[in-house]
Structure 1
Amino acid sequence: MGRLQFSHGLNIVITTTFVSLLAMPIVGPALPVLQEEFGISNRDIGWVVMSTYTVPALLFVPIFGYLADRFSKKAVLLPSMILFSLCGGAISLAPNTETIIALRFLQGIGASAIATLNIALVPDLFSGRDRLTVMGWTGVVQGIGSGVLPLIGGLLAFLIWYLPFMAALMGLPLSLYIYFYLKNISPPKKAKKTNYAAHAWKHLADRRVVELCFFTFGYIFVGFGAFVSYIPSFLASTFGSGPLLIGVIIAARALSGALTASFLNQLTLKFSSRSLVVSSFFVLGLGIVSIPLVTGPLGVIFAAFCYGAGFGVTRPLLQVHLFELAPDDLRATFASANGLALRFAQTISPLSAGFLISWTNFGTMYLAAGTIAFLMMILAFYGNSLSAENTKMA
């Protein structure tokens, strides 16, 4: 990882990335306890806690992107962080399921801004290869957090069901830090006079931008749908694996993702962006198609490492190149576009995988997902957005 000097901007990007994880990975282990506490069925627990949190992003991510570019990122991030934190903490006081649904929806609105603007701040605060280094650090935080937070959440839920939800309150002291130390960078005056819709469409319709967002969509569609959403069911139904073993196997992806993300800057000095993205899709496809061939649960760790390793490279690298194409007054909008691609993939991929499993079986689903990864590899090989000319970094 490249060296960066201490700065408030770096602290805010890293800590905001961490706080954005305090409503999903850490909450998962609490779901069975929550079901027992409020009498929520297996059929309903997913949408009560998870879907009500993620759905707001489909509407509010582009809205927050617009507001951040028209006014300032600080003006949007600060109240969103407070909303996220207070609603998460308030779940501990929820008397019924309806209150939980309402609070998770409101918390999801706040998270829609946090998960977009933590990345959109990077091109504002850093330049050249420092951007790549910082994006690598955010990948490390996401990787470690995704692996460690479920373990912490399980311990907290063992004590009291609502403690994992209260972790979101850590965003309140961060809000104070943001208020005092985040520079309030206002958009250029000419940006406010510009017809935003026409200006944004002109740049977002760039083929290179569409390609980069599509690559993000493709990687998440395969990884989230085939691996994250259905590996637990595959392991339990095929090998009778318990929650602890499943948790360890899933955590393996976080380990490999954090490792590759930490070396992202060095990797881009030795290999082209095209070769890194192509290799990531190849490794992802190889891991996914290997799943039906394993003879025991530990064999799935190979797929976990493949998925995580590719994610640690592809996700931050695509974001950096996207920001290189973004005008200064549309950085939050570009981050929103990429965020929408990710959320859309997370929304439809489990449905697609579940539909295929219901008609065939796990093996067919994993072979189909691996085939999609290999097709994405071919598209990345020929994509104009990953040419040497379009991926130069100072």
Structure 2
Amino acid sequence: MNKNLLGIYLVTSLSMAGVFTISPALPAIGLALEISKAEISYLITAFTLGTVLVAPFVGLIADKVGRKKLLVPSLYLFGIAGFCCGLTDSFGWLLFWRFLQGVGSSALGTLSSTMITDIYSGPDRVRYFGYNMSVNSIGMVVFPLLGGALVVFSWRYPFMVSVIAIPIAVYNQIFLRYTEHLTELNTRQYMQNFLRSLTDRRVMLAAYLNFTCFIMMGGAFLTFYALFITENFSAEIIFAGVHLPRELVIGFAMSLFSVMVGLVAFRLGAIHARFGFNRVLAFAFLSYSGAFFLFQSTSHLFYVLLACAWLGLGHGLAAPSLMALHTRLAPAGMTASYLTLNSLVFRLGQTVGPMLMAMVLNGYGLNAVFMVAALIALPAVVVAWSAGWAK
């Protein structure tokens, strides 16, 4: 593997740490800090809010100044703020550091995808987006297991995992070297072209699908799946004849989801070659809906894990496909901004989702959270199937 790809893949895997390491630990953090179930969701919202506020500027800076000049400082901020989260005893300060960590995280996923777009084109680009999502899924496997294991010892330790961003920053500062495809437009022309492109119906439909995807994933699954398992299973769970702490099972459930994401994304190029964007995206959202319905309808561990794997199937198809779709729609020299739009929309979904689902939780209970997510996915199936992406 060349040094550029290794640097990109390290950033991609790290981009999952901010949420996936913390998700299995949310119930324990809530108990330690004596906060309510609804307030637990603020730990996700504070992080994603930091990414949302900065994201509109990420694409412009990356396209005009350069990917590397933005990436390295972002990695340092992510690592330092995450470490500080683990040092605080105040819920208010914890939210502050989570917000700053989100600011650092805002560029990571966008830039790793943009750099792939710089290096590859055509069918190779879709294939490498799939490979990148597979690497992403490695982070989604490792970080939940790590978070679930570390929280057994202390709720602080999952936050401190983020410090690994610092050696990744050093590596990219030294070894990341390639010709970046920057824009020659001045800032005013660039913004005019970008805003004009937003009138493209295909861009708006892609944004809708992305927003829907992450309202479901950020709001229902990432925020409340651990709470669902906590409320439905005892502190020690017998799994395959082995007695395991519930926190470790929570991490395993997330890792099972992530393994499925990686397996599907690795074959994304071949899947797209056979079925195309419409059928792939429609099936992905249908999978989301079925998995969320199954999740809320059972308290049997086997079916809970099956639902996690089914969600991974849908996400492995949807997330990299939507990234590839945005690069396909992007005018020349504006790839980073279109990928930033992709990132901004899904961060908005991750920010709004926990708040929306917390309202559902308070009004109707935990099972209703997953039922609402299942229903939200259904209109997206129709949009994905009927949109004319190639026009």
**What band does the TM-score fall into relative to the shorter chain?**
0.7 to 0.9
Alignment partner, residue 155 of structure 1: 149
Q: How does 1:112-191 map to 2 (within 5 A)?
A: 112-158=106-152, 162-180=156-174, 181-183=176-178, 185=180, 187-189=182-184, 191=185
Gaps of 5+ in 2: 236-245
- Quote the Cα distance in structure 1 between the aligned partners of 2:203 and 2:361: 33
Deviates further, 203-212 or 140-149: 140-149
Check the 8 A contact 2:46/2:95 in 1, yes or no. Answer: yes
Q: TM-score, normalised by structure 2?
A: 0.86
* 1:196-228 deviations in Å (ceiling 9; x for gaps): 321111112211111112111122223333333
Pairing 1:42–2:35 present = yes
Check the 8 A contact 1:88/1:168 in 2, yes or no. Answer: yes
* 1:277-323 deviations in Å (ceiling 9; x for gaps): 11111222222223344362321223212211010011101111210
- Quote the Cα distance in structure 1 between the aligned partners of 2:300 and 2:41: 31
For these two proteins, the number of residue pairs brought into alignment is 379
- Quote the Cα distance in structure 2 between the aligned partners of 1:99 and 1:246: 26
Select 1:64's aligned residue among 58, 64, 73.
58
- Quote the Cα distance in structure 1 between the aligned partners of 2:387 and 2:301: 36
Gaps of 5+ in 1: 1-5
Select 1:340's aligned residue among 333, 341, 344.
344
Alignment partner, residue 21 of structure 1: 16
Alignment partner, residue 200 of structure 2: 206
Distance verdict in 2 for CA 1:24–1:184, change over 3 Å = same
Alignment partner, residue 9 of structure 1: 4
Q: Name the aligned partner's letter for residue 354 of structure 1.
A: A
Distance verdict in 2 for CA 1:228–1:96, change over 3 Å = closer
- Quote the Cα distance in structure 2 between the aligned partners of 1:19 and 1:176: 14
Q: Secondary structure at the match of 2:17?
A: coil
Check the 8 A contact 1:249/1:298 in 2, yes or no. Answer: no
Q: TM-score, normalised by structure 1?
A: 0.85
Check the 8 A contact 1:9/1:125 in 2, yes or no. Answer: no
- Quote the Cα distance in structure 1 between the aligned partners of 2:61 and 2:199: 20
Q: Name the aligned partner's letter for residue 24 of structure 1.
A: V
Alignment partner, residue 281 of structure 1: 285
- Quote the Cα distance in structure 1 between the aligned partners of 2:231 and 2:155: 27
Distance verdict in 2 for CA 1:56–1:228, change over 3 Å = closer
Deviates further, 162-171 or 207-216: 162-171
Alignment partner, residue 334 of structure 2: 330
Alignment partner, residue 298 of structure 2: 294
Alignment partner, residue 373 of structure 2: 369
Question: How far off its partner does 1:45 sit?
Answer: 6.5
- Quote the Cα distance in structure 2 between the aligned partners of 1:153 and 1:370: 27
Q: Name the aligned partner's letter for residue 130 of structure 1.
A: D
Deviates further, 320-329 or 94-103: 94-103
Check the 8 A contact 1:257/1:312 in 2, yes or no. Answer: yes
Select 1:263's aligned residue among 264, 267, 270.
267
Distance verdict in 2 for CA 1:293–1:113, change over 3 Å = closer
Q: Name the aligned partner's letter for residue 46 of structure 1.
A: I
* 1:114-148 deviations in Å (ceiling 9; x for gaps): 23212222211211222122211221122232232
Check the 8 A contact 2:290/2:374 in 1, yes or no. Answer: yes
- Quote the Cα distance in structure 2 between the aligned partners of 1:21 and 1:216: 17
Distance verdict in 2 for CA 1:310–1:49, change over 3 Å = closer
- Quote the Cα distance in structure 2 between the aligned partners of 1:245 and 1:19: 22
Distance verdict in 2 for CA 1:294–1:320, change over 3 Å = same
Distance verdict in 2 for CA 1:169–1:325, change over 3 Å = same
- Quote the Cα distance in structure 1 between the aligned partners of 2:187 and 2:223: 45
Question: How far off its partner does 1:329 sit?
Answer: 2.3
- Quote the Cα distance in structure 2 between the aligned partners of 1:193 and 1:354: 40
Q: Secondary structure at the match of 1:316?
A: helix
Q: Secondary structure at the match of 1:195?
A: helix
Check the 8 A contact 2:218/2:350 in 1, yes or no. Answer: yes
Q: Secondary structure at the match of 2:18?
A: coil
Pairing 1:195–2:189 present = yes
Alignment partner, residue 322 of structure 2: 318
- Quote the Cα distance in structure 2 between the aligned partners of 1:67 and 1:311: 29
Percent of residue pairs identical? 25
RMSD: 2.8
- Quote the Cα distance in structure 2 between the aligned partners of 1:28 and 1:214: 25
Q: Name the aligned partner's letter for residue 113 of structure 1.
A: A
- Quote the Cα distance in structure 2 between the aligned partners of 1:240 and 1:121: 45
Distance verdict in 2 for CA 1:363–1:176, change over 3 Å = closer
- Quote the Cα distance in structure 2 between the aligned partners of 1:292 and 1:225: 14
Alignment partner, residue 238 of structure 2: none
